């Protein structure tokens, strides 16, 4: 189902929770084994914590945040 935000952006409502990863050059740095960090935004904080548990390494630091506190 297609919806619109107040500023005219459109988005699709699927009923599924979606999380997002934010961070400049994250994929390249992770692949190269360099230290980097990212923010995972989710409307359900527990989902972000699950991603952190699954993906975080000593060189890849993850901060989960609620969706409404992340720039989008």
Residue 37 in contact with residue 62, Cβ under 8 Å? yes
Span 23-45, pLDDT tens digits: 767 788 888 989 999 999 888 89
Q: Which residues pair with 65 in a beta bridge?
A: 41
Span 40-60, pLDDT tens digits: 988 889 999 999 999 999 999
**Token pair belonging to 55:** 């993906």
Neighbours of 47 (CB within 10 A): 17
- Nearest 5°: phi and psi at 56? -70, 135
Q: What is the pLDDT of residue 31?
A: 87
């Amino acid at each position: 189902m297609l919806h619109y935000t107040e500023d005219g952006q459109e988005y699709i409502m699927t009923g599924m929770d979606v999380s997002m990863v934010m961070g400049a050059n994250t994929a390249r740095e992770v692949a190269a084994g360099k230290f980097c960090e990212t923010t995972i935004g989710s409307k359900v904080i527990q989902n972000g914590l699950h991603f952190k548990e699954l993906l975080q390494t000593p060189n890849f630091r993850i901060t989960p945040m609620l969706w409404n506190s992340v720039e989008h």
